[in-house]
């Protein structure tokens, strides 16, 4: 089945009682049992499983080419579930540019866990491989990264990890399976903030893990069931509905994203544009190799380097909304240093390139003329 068909039909079947084409929102916490321990059907308690969530999880597995999907109450809850499979003494190697909340989870919530986190630019293979040792249990990559749009070579990293007992997880939030399928490139686990492109309409907070190995999937499902960060039936329905148009929306996000990046790269008030589709992007060749499009996320800095220029620009936007998050049909703008990445200490932020004049745009699916006109008036 082609990807476009999978987004609509993958893992789906008509509801058996009525033939409903979309799964009903099974708004129930529990299920009747015939005799103790013997439920009437396949379901027992909705923390373990719920039919609407199952429909979403089957769709997730289908579009990412995984064995099993798990739907969580947020992207961070999904990441947390995976981290819980580690123990004191284990080590994690992570990309050095990450969503601020992921960095906060790693460095603050897991601070006293005895798990050691290393942050490295995965494009520096020598630096990356020098960190590998017998305690390394997880490699965590965001690609493209939030907010600097760095790109990591998924297949090259998977090749390095081959034969070692190390899990390789990719946060595929920015690219989505419409543009990049990490499990096909050698990763073991895909993570999503389904709040973003999968949901696609800025109306739900949700997360996902999609797993290749059945035994690992079983273990992670047990952890999710035993700790409880599951996605509710209504939210599962919304994400499932979003997935059905993912391929269509991503086409327009890519088209508009490329035009905005091109416009910005010619603007006299702009210094650097971060967009993997630009030939000048340092990782354009890797992006071209592993992605079928470059997405709708574009970051840039100001020629003046001034924070005030960035904040004034953001205040003047009219079609773009100044707000955290990304991946919805509507265009959003964000100031990473003051908003989404404020939880990263200032010195670390600066060291990594998240400067005070950095602006991140989530380019939506509106008409490109309106988006460019809005940017132009905000620069004025
Ligand atoms: O917000 P939540 O659904 O918990 O997802 C966390 C998360 C994980 N990974 C990436 C790449 C993300 O971008 C996010 C959430 N990001 C934002 C809210 C943001 O505006 O960047």
Give nearest CA residue, ligand 1 atom 2. 75
pLDDT at residue 63 in the model? 98
Site to substitute for ligand 1 among 80, 106, 151, 173, most atoms within 8 A of C-beta = 173
DSSP, residue by residue, 274-292: E-TTSTTSTTHHHHHHH-S
Span 3-243: which CATH code?
3.40.640.10
CA of 102 to the centre of ligand 1 (A): 8
For the residues 57-83, what does the mean pLDDT come to?
Answer: 98
CA of 7 to the centre of ligand 1 (A): 22
Question: pTM (2 decimals)?
Answer: 0.98
- What residues contact 308, with CB distance under 8 A and at least 6 apart? none
The whole-angstrom separation of Cα 257 and Cα 168 is 29
List the catalytic residue out of 43, 47, 288, 289.
Answer: 47
| Residue among 113, 110, 107, 100 at smallest CA distance from 142 | 100
List the catalytic residue out of 99, 103, 110, 237.
Answer: 99
| Residue among 22, 284, 294 at smallest CA distance from 178 | 294
CA of 324 to the centre of ligand 1 (A): 9
Site to substitute for ligand 1 among 100, 189, 195, most atoms within 8 A of C-beta = 195
Catalytic status, residue 171? yes
CA of 220 to the centre of ligand 1 (A): 21
For the residues 108-130, what does the mean pLDDT come to?
Answer: 97
CA of 330 to the centre of ligand 1 (A): 17
Q: pLDDT by residue (tens digit) across 120-138? A: 999 999 999 999 999 999 9
| Alpha helix stretches (DSSP H) within the chain | 3-9, 51-63, 75-83, 100-104, 125-131, 154-161, 214-227, 233-243, 246-265, 284-290, 307-316, 346-352, 368-379
Which band of pLDDT confidence, cut at 50, 70 and 90, is reported for residue 26?
A: very high
**Domain 247-379, CATH 3.40.190.10 — does that match?**
no
List the catalytic residue out of 96, 97, 171, 309.
Answer: 171
Which band of pLDDT confidence, cut at 50, 70 and 90, is reported for residue 338?
A: very high
pLDDT at residue 372 in the model? 98
List the catalytic residue out of 68, 150, 181, 196.
Answer: 196
pLDDT at residue 79 in the model? 98
Q: pLDDT by residue (tens digit) across 80-98? A: 999 999 999 999 999 999 9
Residues flanking ligand 1, CB < 6 Å = 74-76, 99, 101-102, 142, 146, 171, 173, 193, 195, 205, 207, 324-326, 334, 340
pLDDT at residue 84 in the model? 96
CA of 325 to the centre of ligand 1 (A): 7
- What residues contact 169, with CB distance under 8 A and at least 6 apart? 82, 138, 139, 140, 141, 187, 188, 189, 190, 191
Q: pLDDT by residue (tens digit) across 232-274? A: 999 999 999 999 999 999 999 999 999 999 999 999 999 999 9
pLDDT at residue 95 in the model? 96
CA of 173 to the centre of ligand 1 (A): 8
Q: pLDDT by residue (tens digit) across 166-213? A: 999 999 999 999 999 999 999 999 999 999 999 999 999 999 999 999
Which band of pLDDT confidence, cut at 50, 70 and 90, is reported for residue 285?
A: very high
Residue carrying the six token digits 């992207």: 75
pLDDT at residue 230 in the model? 98
Site to substitute for ligand 1 among 101, 104, 296, 358, most atoms within 8 A of C-beta = 101
Catalytic status, residue 196? yes
Which band of pLDDT confidence, cut at 50, 70 and 90, is reported for residue 55?
A: very high
Integer CA distances (angstroms), 13 to 69, 237, 281, 313, in order: 16, 14, 43, 48
pLDDT at residue 319 in the model? 98
Which band of pLDDT confidence, cut at 50, 70 and 90, is reported for residue 355?
A: very high
For the residues 321-342, what does the mean pLDDT come to?
Answer: 98
Catalytic status, residue 68? no
Indicate the domain borders of the chain: 3-243, 247-379
Site to substitute for ligand 1 among 99, 330, 362, most atoms within 8 A of C-beta = 99
Residue carrying the six token digits 């429909």: 55
Residue carrying the six token digits 């895909």: 190
């Amino acid at each position: 089945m082609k990807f476009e068909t999978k987004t609509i039909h993958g893992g789906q079947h008509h509801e058996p009682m009525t033939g409903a084409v979309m799964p009903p929102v099974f708004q129930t916490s529990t299920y009747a049992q015939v005799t103790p321990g013997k439920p009437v059907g396949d379901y027992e308690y909705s923390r373990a499983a719920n039919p609407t969530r199952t429909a979403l999880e089957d769709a997730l597995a289908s579009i990412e080419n995984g064995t099993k999907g798990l739907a969580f109450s947020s992207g961070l809850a999904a990441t947390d579930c995976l981290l819980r499979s580690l123990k004191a003494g284990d080590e994690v190697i992570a990309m050095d540019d990450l969503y601020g909340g992921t960095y906060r989870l790693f460095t603050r919530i897991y601070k006293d866990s005895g798990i050691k986190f290393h942050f490295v630019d995965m494009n520096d293979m020598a630096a990356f491989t020098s960190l590998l040792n017998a305690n390394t249990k997880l490699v965590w990559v965001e690609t493209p990264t939030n907010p600097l749009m760095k790109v990591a070579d998924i297949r090259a990293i998977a090749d390095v990890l081959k034969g070692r007992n190390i899990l390789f997880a990719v946060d595929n939030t920015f690219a989505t399976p419409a543009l990049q399928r990490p499990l096909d490139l050698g990763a073991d686990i895909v993570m999503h903030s389904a709040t973003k492109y999968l949901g696609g309409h800025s109306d739900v907070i949700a997360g996902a893990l999609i797993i290749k190995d059945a035994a690992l999937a079983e273990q992670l499902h047990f952890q999710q069931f035993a700790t409880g960060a599951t996605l509710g039936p209504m939210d599962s329905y919304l994400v499932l509905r979003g997935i059905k148009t993912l391929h269509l929306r991503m086409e327009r996000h890519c088209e508009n994203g490329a035009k905005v990046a091109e416009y910005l790269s010619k603007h006299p008030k702009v210094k650097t544009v971060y967009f993997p589709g630009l030939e000048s992007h340092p990782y354009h060749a890797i992006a071209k190799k592993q992605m079928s499009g470059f997405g709708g996320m574009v970051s840039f800095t100001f020629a003046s380097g001034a924070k005030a220029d960035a904040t004034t620009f953001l205040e003047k936007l009219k079609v773009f909304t100044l707000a955290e998050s990304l991946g919805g049909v509507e265009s959003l703008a964000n100031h990473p240093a003051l908003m989404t990445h404020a939880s990263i200490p200032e010195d670390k932020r600066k060291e990594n390139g998240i400067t005070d004049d950095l602006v991140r745009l989530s380019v939506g699916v509106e008409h490109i003329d309106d988006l460019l006109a809005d940017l132009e008036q905000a620069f004025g």
